[in-house]
Chains A and B, each alone.
Chain A
Amino acid sequence: MGFDPTKDKAIEEQLVKDLQAGKVSSFEQLANLYQKNIYTLSFNLTRNATDSQDVTQEVLLTLFKKGHTFQGKSAFSSWVYRITLNASYMKLRTRKKEPNLSIEDLLPSLNGAGFQQEKLQDWSENTEAAFFDKETRRVIQKAVDLLPDKEKVVFLLRDVEGLSTEKVSEVLEITIPAIKSRLHRARLFLRKKLASYFEDYKTRKERK
């Protein structure tokens, strides 16, 4: 169970008031409310359980020690996500230079008039059976790992954490149109990676 930003606004507000007033009991409640979100986001970025545990502890400690300084200029959860991202990025010290994702490379081949020329296979109906497959999980995790950071973080906050576009824009301090285009590129990238896996999933299974 984690924090659901769409539902838990009132709980959050009360806890933040308590935290600002220095109430110790609010720390444990906040920790319980946020630790899954913090851990999962960090794990999906670092892909390392030890690092994610460290990050979670650091973030919780920051909430505990600095919570009373929270100004309320942005939503509290945006602040929590921002600290989590910074702490996770610190763990990924050796971050590689990443190429920009070009949308043309992610779309199917189009003719001069902008129409599709290849026959695409609809593998979306085969995914049910593949879902519980360890191999499928591995392929998906790897596809996400391969996303450039700029697109990855938007995908994790928007599609995995379920934040609204506006909220993601607040956390990352970038414009809404930029969030939308990064999210679209991330989704196109994942679609392309999964397509090459699923297009011959059935044949592979039948051969086995």
Chain B
Amino acid sequence: MDFFQGMADNFSNLWTIIGDLTVTGLTQGAIYALIALGYTLVYGVLQLINFAHSEVFLVGAFGSVMVWGWLGYSSGAAAVPPLLVVIGMLLLGAVTASIFSGGTALIIERVAYRPLRRKNAPRLIFLITAIGASVAISEIVGLLVDRKVVSTPALVHQKFQVWFDPSDIGLNINSFGITNLQIGIVLCAIGMWLALDLFLNRTKFGLGIRSVAQDEDTAALMGVNKDRVIMLTFLLGGLAAGVAAVLYNLKFPQITFDMGFLLGIKAFTAAVLGGIGNLRGALVGGLVLGLVENWGAGFFGNDWMNVTAFVVLVVVLMFRPTGILGDSLGKARA
């Protein structure tokens, strides 16, 4: 009976802090979602897991911290700069990170994937070159920063915007708040998803991407340049990863050269969870994963947070391999 008593205690413990966990989970989930967009785009078009996508994110994160550092905003700066400067810095960071990430994504496509596509190599080989690219890029970053932890500047002054106290309405939940940064991160993720969705569905480039995703040979016959479409797909994934990188820099105090691996796996889990190849799926999957792993951490303890994420991945793939929302880029609105 001790076991059940323990479970009940854990549950009531989880319940009292569920507010904070939910807010944190949604924020982290938004970052996962932005990275997951890259996995989902490439998978939708090429049916290929771009294992090196985590390093696309990594390069963006280090690139933006580097440029902020050049302009004098490193982690040491005591005071938060005035609002206009902050906005400028954020935009600059987003642009830099997107350039770095997008560039990395294009290089990976050109060096590691295109020669293999020409040879119609089996997927396993793509995965191996992707692993090679992933190891090489994170090692290059590691050598550049001497394998040290890099601190990110505190650009945004975090303060609570909304404050909830559920005990007012008789619920036994600790009071919790939402900071400006958390709201911003979630809004950014939703905005990026909306922008990508519009791009895919309303523009000529988007039409090209959807056509290659559906049937590349027919698309080629209709005059679509396949190589260019694939490059564009990688670039879009890179841009989303760049935005994710800036948000990560704002939220977390430190970045390391080997952080890509775990984040990449989580983002991939998010993409699969929502239904890979489906943009909405990436967003939903990211948010759900963030929630589930934070609730899991509240229930089983912080040490088991990542285990929860991976168990979720395995269970989802076993019972619903197409994910929550399920359709792919090619089949969606065909």
Chain A complexes with chain B = no
